[in-house]
């Protein structure tokens, strides 16, 4: 979660921009617990998947080149 | 939210900042601007990336540009020299920033320039096409008491999009000068230079008054930070707000001043955080975004519909009750084709029947039955409720191909910006049946996962709203995986799918309408920004599909294994038989074959699991025609899965959760019964 935490996510539902690290406000009360990688928009509560590690790694590689 | 008031404690009172009328109290910076022959004026450009900041920079400076690393960072800074009306000017182009609350290194550098280089004028460069999205930072700069001029850049593109902006009104509302430019064409640059030379007013109006908890904390923090180093440059209100946003850098520099008390600051921030449901950073951001939408709406004008571009016309059609309904039908039809026909038909046929049915399952059945002589134990893996024959086969053979195709379609829909328009459309239906628009979001979310959507209902204001939405979610909203499997089952005929859609839709509207009559309440308005439509991007779709599949596999496979074990144990102990024989008469009375009772029982573990059970029966030729349709309708209405039920108890309490379940179970079968009898009466056999 080091790089991803600094990433801004634009909610595909309401257009609100937020940083990925804080899209987990509701997770404590969800029975699915830690296994889910969805982040929740603080404005409208819509869930989007966080950037998968694989994709983050690919992006990094491409940036380095 | 956006009420304005003056703030006497922070700064001296001045007259109308928009029209720059002279006034007696002037800050020191204002004086410096007036002195002729004064040294060079320092100007900083700030703004988010891609707003044409560099074209404004080049239009102001000409050719003399120095690029340097900002000390201690890898971030490049552009500095240029120029002369405006015989006054020397230094222009600094800062890295892109989205907010004064800095997260990235670029943003930290941009803020450091504002704080340390002490520019005489700060130009906030905005993309005029996206005024609404850019205004929150304008508010922050004004709150900070910085000498802001708003530069509405790309005015040419905005007018090409049919967007007109009343700059005079915007200036009056914001309390700072606003200049429209098209820097790449050189338009508005002369006016901008003049506005820089004329700059004197400091805005005193507060763009936003936040909610009480925030304002109280700000009032408590202000005296503690007013003597700190950042207060030399930005208002103590702004420092207090940054502290509430838990800005580490500001926390550090705000406590460096003489006699400052870091622990008192922390105590106030912690108290505010604990007293609020959500992090102050989000409460602030949401308030700013709302104020931005309101202000943007009041100063922007869209041209007459006749000249609207195709995208805008399509967008409106999507939200219109009639055309929106047609478009929704087209979207569902496309989904049916991809998910139902291709995913559930072709792919599942290949995986479940060929790979699992003919290869994997027979292999394990032969090997394990030979290897483990005790049938009870081998049943655990390959029996009727075996981990491999039921759990893994359902999860990988049936549900995985269906949800994969569903996720692809869903990611495309999500990336295109259709969802908020769908929400607006549903909002209209809701208004029609007298329901609160705020229920829209949990309902749309429920199409993803009802369990999480049930948790989200807590964002609704009154208990009534929360109960109605919880009920509708449990009753009539299938989750994405269940929806996919049901599409798959019903893909045998379009008529069946349409009837299913009609019945579930009618139940939703009827129950929603009745519930809103029985439990009436205030209807609040529904706020949402509708982002622009766009063609889905392949990389985004792939990334989201991949992420959802990863989540699905990680979360669901273990669940299916556990469910198989529980079913196996229930079967071994004879409990399952009792449950099924109890359900059997009900199921048969409704017109569904007795075998389907098992599917309803396992549906309680997960909605999609139950639907997969129906799928299995269909594939075996045990379930078809009217009975298939009735089962699908009952399955959709009947099951809130165990996780959803637990959340219902947790969020709404025992009594409400049990009451809702107690209503849903018989009601679902009643609807099934009605449908079965209606079809028989009409002589329809599907
Ligand atoms: Zn959102």
Q: B44-77, pLDDT tens digit by residue?
A: 999 987 788 888 888 888 766 777 777 777 777 8
CB contact under 8 A, A15 and B531: yes
Residues in chain B, total: 686
Give the CA distances from residue B492 to residues B352, B402, B610, in Å, rounded to whole numbers and listed in that order: 17, 15, 19
**B539: Cβ–Cβ under 8 A, 6 or more apart, which residues?**
none
CA distances from B641 to A45, B193, B320, B440, B507 (A): 21, 65, 34, 21, 19
**Is pLDDT of B675 > 70?**
yes
Judged by CB atoms closer than 8 Å, whether chains meet at A52 and B547 is answered as yes
Q: Is the pLDDT of residue B465 over 90?
A: no
Percent share of chain B, pLDDT over 70: 86
Q: Which residues, other chains included, contact A58 with Cβ-Cβ below 8 Å and sequence gap of 6+?
A: none
Q: Is residue B598 over pLDDT 60?
A: yes
Å between B519 CA and nearest CA of chain A: 25
Nearest Cα residue to B246 out of B47, B102, B96, B98? B102
Measure the N-to-C terminal CA separation of chain A; round to a whole number of Å.
23
Task: Give the range with max mean pLDDT: B13-22, B395-404, B594-603, B625-634.
Answer: B625-634
Distances (CA, A) of B499 to B326, B491, B493, B513: 16, 12, 10, 21
Q: Is the pLDDT of residue A46 over 80?
A: no
The model's pTM is 0.57
List CB contacts of A4: < 8 A, sequence separation 6 or more.
Answer: A20, A21, A50, A51, A56
Q: B173 CA distance to ligand 1 centroid (A)?
A: 27
Which phi and psi (to 5°) does residue B480 adopt? -55, -45
Rounded to whole angstroms, how far apart are CA atoms B607 and B378?
Answer: 27
Mean pLDDT over residues B107-127, rounded? Answer: 89
pLDDT at A6: 44
Give pLDDT, residue B205. Answer: 63
Q: What is the pLDDT of residues B283-298, one digit of tens each?
A: 888 888 888 888 988 8
Is the per-residue pLDDT at B24 higher than 50? no
As a whole number, mean pLDDT of residues B383-407 equals 80
A6, A14, A36 ranked by CB distance to B555: nearest: A36
Q: Which two structure tokens, joined as six digits, stand for B344?
A: 């559930």
Among A9-23, B220-234, B245-259, the range with the most confident prediction by mean pLDDT is B220-234
Q: State mean pLDDT over B645-651.
A: 80
Query: Which one is predicted more confidently, B660 or B446?
Result: B660
Q: Which of B37-41, B143-147, B229-233 has the lowest mean pLDDT?
A: B37-41
Band (B80; pLDDT cuts 50, 70, 90) = confident
Task: Determine the pLDDT at residue B5.
Answer: 39
- Enter the tokens of residue B635: 């399955």
The per-residue pLDDT for B467 is 84
Q: How far apart are CA B263 and CA B251, in angstroms?
A: 11
- DSSP letters, B177-219, are -EEE-BGGGTBTHHHHHHHHHH------B-S----HHHHHHHH
Q: Report phi then psi at B95, rounded to 5.
A: -65, 160
Cα–Cα distance measured from residue B259 to residue B523, given in angstroms and rounded to the nearest whole number: 51
Give first-to-last CA distance, chain B, whole Å: 56
> In chain B, what residues touch A15 (CB-CB under 8 Å)?
133, 420, 529-531
The whole-number average pLDDT for the span B219-242 is: 87
CA nearest neighbour of B466 among B634, B647, B665: B647
In Å, what is the CA distance from B314 to each residue of B318, B328, B410, B415, B421?
6, 12, 19, 16, 10
pLDDT for the residue A65: 56
pLDDT of residue B10: 38
Q: pLDDT at position B151, please?
A: 95
Residues of A within 8 A of B444 (CB-CB) are 13, 46
Fill in the DSSP letter of residue B71. Answer: T
Query: Is B679 or B512 the better-scoring residue by pLDDT?
Result: B679
A20 versus B670: which is more confidently predicted?
B670
- Taking only the tens place, the pLDDT of each residue in B429-450 is 776 666 666 667 777 777 767 7
Among candidates B455, B547, B555 on the partner chain, residue whose Cβ is nearest the Cβ of A49: B547
Residues on chain B touching A42 (C-beta within 8 angstroms): 278-279, 282, 285-286
Ligand 1 mean position to A48 CA, how many Å?
9
Check CB contact under 8 Å for B547 and A14: no
Q: By percentage, how much of chain B surpasses pLDDT 90?
A: 6
Angstrom distance (rounded) from CA A24 to CA A39: 6
Mean pLDDT of B405-429: 83
Dist. CA B562–CA B558, nearest whole Å: 6
- Rg of the Cα atoms in chain B: 31
Contacts of B448 in chain A (CB under 8 A): 47
Helices H, strands E: what count in chain B? 31, 9
Name chain A contacts of B459, Cβ cutoff 8 Å. 45
Note whether B547 contacts A: Cβ–Cβ < 8 A: yes
From the candidates A3, A9, A37, A43, which should be mutated to test the interface with B, based on the most B CB atoms within 10 A? A43
Average pLDDT of chain B is 79
Residue B37: pLDDT over 70: no
pLDDT at residue B16, rounded to an integer: 35
pLDDT band for position A27 (cuts 50, 70, 90): low
pLDDT tens per residue across span B539-567: 888 888 888 787 777 766 777 788 788 88
Residue B600 to residue B634: CA distance in whole angstroms: 9
pLDDT at B29: 39
CA of B441 to the centre of ligand 1 (A): 9
Question: Torsions phi, psi of B411, nearest 5?
Answer: -65, -35
B292 to chain A: closest CA residue: A16
Best of B284, B452, B562 to substitute, by most chain A Cβ atoms within 10 angstroms, is B452
Nearest by CB to residue A37, choosing from B278, B423, B551, is B551
What are the two backbone dihedrals, phi and then psi, of residue A23, each rounded to the nearest 5 degrees? -85, 25
Sheet holding B121-127, edge to edge: B65-69, B76-84, B87-93, B41-46, B121-127, B148-153, B178-180
Is B456 in contact with A45 (Cβ distance < 8 A)? yes
CB-based contacts of B116, cutoff 8 Å, min separation 6: B233
Q: Which residues contact residue B430 at a Cβ distance below 8 angstroms, ignoring those fewer than 6 apart? A: B436, B437, B439, B440, B512
Which residues does B370 contact at the CB level (< 8 Å), separation at least 6? none
Q: Determine whether B577 is exposed, middle or buried from the number of CB atoms within 10 Å of its CB (0-12, 13-18, 19+).
A: exposed
- Residues B10-21: tens digit of each pLDDT: 333 333 333 333
Nearest residue on chain A to B422, alpha-carbon basis: A13
Cβ separation of B415 and A25 shorter than 8 Å?
A: no
* Mean per-residue pLDDT, B357-384: 79
d(CA B40, CA B132) in angstroms, rounded, equals 34
How far apart are the C-alpha atoms of B258 and B254, rounded to whole Å?
10
Q: Collapsing DSSP states into helix, strand and coil, what is residue B532?
A: coil
> For B250-274, what is the mean pLDDT?
81
Chain B residues close to A17, C-beta within 8 Å: 98, 133
């Amino acid at each position: 979660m080091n790089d991803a935490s600094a990433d801004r996510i634009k909610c595909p539902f309401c257009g609100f921009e937020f940083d990925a690290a804080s899209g987990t406000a509701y997770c404590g009360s969800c029975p699915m617990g830690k296994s889910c990688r969805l982040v929740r928009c603080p404005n409208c509560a819509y869930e989007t998947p966080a950037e998968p590690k694989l994709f983050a790694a690919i992006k990094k590689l491409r940036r380095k080149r | 939210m956006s009420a304005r008031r003056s703030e006497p404690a922070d700064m001296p009172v001045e007259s109308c900042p928009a029209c720059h009328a002279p006034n007696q109290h002037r800050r020191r910076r204002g004086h410096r601007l007036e002195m002729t022959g004064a040294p060079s004026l320092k100007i900083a450009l700030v703004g988010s990336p891609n707003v044409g900041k560099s074209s404004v920079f080049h239009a102001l400076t000409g050719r003399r540009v120095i690029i340097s690393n900002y000390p201690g960072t890898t971030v490049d800074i552009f500095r240029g020299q120029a002369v405006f009306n015989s006054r020397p000017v230094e222009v600094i182009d800062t890295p892109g920033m989205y907010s004064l609350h800095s997260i990235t290194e670029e943003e930290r550098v941009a803020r450091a320039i504002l704080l340390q280089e002490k520019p005489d004028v700060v130009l906030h460069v905005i993309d005029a096409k996206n005024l609404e999205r850019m205004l929150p930072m304008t508010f922050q700069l004004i709150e900070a008491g910085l000498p802001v001029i708003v530069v509405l850049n790309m005015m040419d593109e905005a007018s090409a999009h049919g967007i007109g902006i009343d700059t005079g009104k915007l200036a009056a509302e914001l309390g700072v000068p606003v200049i429209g430019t098209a820097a790449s064409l050189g338009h508005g640059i002369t006016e901008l230079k003049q506005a820089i030379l004329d700059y004197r007013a400091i805005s005193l109006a507060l763009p936003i008054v936040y909610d009480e908890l925030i304002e109280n904390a700000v009032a408590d923090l202000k005296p503690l930070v007013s003597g700190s180093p950042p207060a030399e440059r930005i208002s103590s209100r702004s420092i207090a707000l940054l502290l509430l946003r838990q800005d580490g850098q500001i926390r550090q520099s705000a406590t460096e001043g003489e006699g400052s008390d870091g622990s008192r600051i922390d105590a106030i921030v912690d108290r505010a955080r604990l007293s609020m449901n959500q992090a102050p950073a989000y409460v602030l951001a949401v308030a700013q975004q709302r104020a931005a939408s309101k202000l943007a709406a009041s100063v922007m004008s869209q041209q007459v519909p006749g000249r609207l571009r195709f995208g805008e016309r399509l967008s409106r059609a999507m939200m219109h009750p009639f055309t929106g309904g047609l478009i929704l039908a087209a979207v569902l039809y496309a989904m049916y084709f991809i998910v139902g026909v291709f995913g559930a038909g072709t792919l599942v046929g290949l995986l479940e029947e060929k790979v699992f049915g003919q290869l994997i399952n027979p292999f394990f059945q032969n090997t394990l039955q030979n290897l483990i002589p005790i049938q009870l134990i081998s049943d655990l893996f390959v029996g009727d409720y075996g981990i491999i024959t039921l759990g893994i086969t359902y999860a990988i053979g049936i549900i995985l191909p269906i949800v994969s195709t569903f996720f692809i379609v869903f990611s495309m829909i999500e990336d295109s910006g259709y969802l908020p328009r769908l929400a607006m459309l549903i909002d209209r239906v809701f208004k029609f049946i007298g329901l609160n628009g705020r229920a829209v979001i949990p309902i749309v979310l429920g199409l993803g996962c009802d369990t999480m959507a049930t948790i989200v209902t807590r964002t609704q204001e009154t208990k009534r709203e929360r109960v109605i939405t919880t009920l509708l979610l449990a009753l009539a909203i299938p989750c994405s995986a269940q929806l996919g499997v049901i599409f798959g089952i019903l893909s045998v005929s379009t008529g069946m799918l349409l009837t299913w859609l009609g019945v579930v839709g009618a139940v939703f509207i009827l129950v929603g309408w009745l519930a809103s009559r029985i439990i009436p309440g205030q209807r609040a308005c529904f706020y949402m920004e509708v982002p622009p439509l766009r063609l889905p991007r392949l990389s985004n779709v792939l990334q989201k599909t991949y992420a959802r599949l990863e989540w699905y596999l990680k979360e669901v496979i273990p669940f299916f294994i556990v469910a198989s074990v529980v079913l196996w144990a229930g079967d071994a102990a004879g409990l399952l038989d009792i449950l099924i024989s109890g359900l059997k008469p009900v199921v048969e009375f409704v017109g569904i074959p007795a075998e389907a009772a098992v599917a309803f029982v396992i549906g309680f573990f997960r909605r999609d699991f139950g639907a997969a059970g129906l799928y299995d029966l269909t594939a075996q030729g045990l379930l078809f025609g009217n009975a298939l349709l009735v089962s699908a309708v009952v399955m959709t209405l009947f099951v809130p899965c165990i996780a959803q039920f637990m959340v219902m108890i947790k969020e709404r309490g025992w009594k409400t959760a049990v009451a809702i379940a107690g209503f849903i179970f018989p009601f679902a079968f009643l609807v099934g019964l009605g449908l079965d009898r209606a079809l028989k009466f009409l002589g329809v056999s599907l």
